Amino acid sequence: MANRHRGEISAMLDGHEWILCLTLGTLAELETAFEASDMGALLKRFSGSTLSAHDAARVIAAGLKGGGNPVPLEQVAQMRADGGATGFARIVNELLTATFGESKPEQSAANP
């Protein structure tokens, strides 16, 4: 069972339930893969643009690895998710939300 307090999610891929988690190590790997200078830049990339299918597969592969299931990227690219492409997008969104939290509108300080 996934522990949301640890940033874990569960996802059905190829008819099996998997635990996914973006650990500090897998986030570092994603920084390298996406040429992001830091976690803030990585988050900005994820929240500011759309992800390609290849990018989604990278995020899911990193999540699987962080969850204790080191599945090669090539194998992740062949997996199926309930809902097809929408299912993969949901998994990526849920994993990023579990890792970085909900995005909230910026709050401005009250004018004294």
- Quick: pLDDT tens for 7-36: 999 999 999 999 999 999 999 999 999 999
List all residues 6 or more positions away from 112 whose beta carbon is below 8 Å from its beta carbon: none
CA distance 7 to 101: 9
Backbone dihedral angles phi then psi of residue 11, each to the nearest 5 degrees: -145, 145
Instruction: Indicate if the pLDDT at residue 67 is higher than 50.
Output: yes
Tell me the pTM: 0.86
CB 43 within 8 A of CB 100: yes
5 secondary structure, DSSP code = G
CA distance 67 to 21: 5
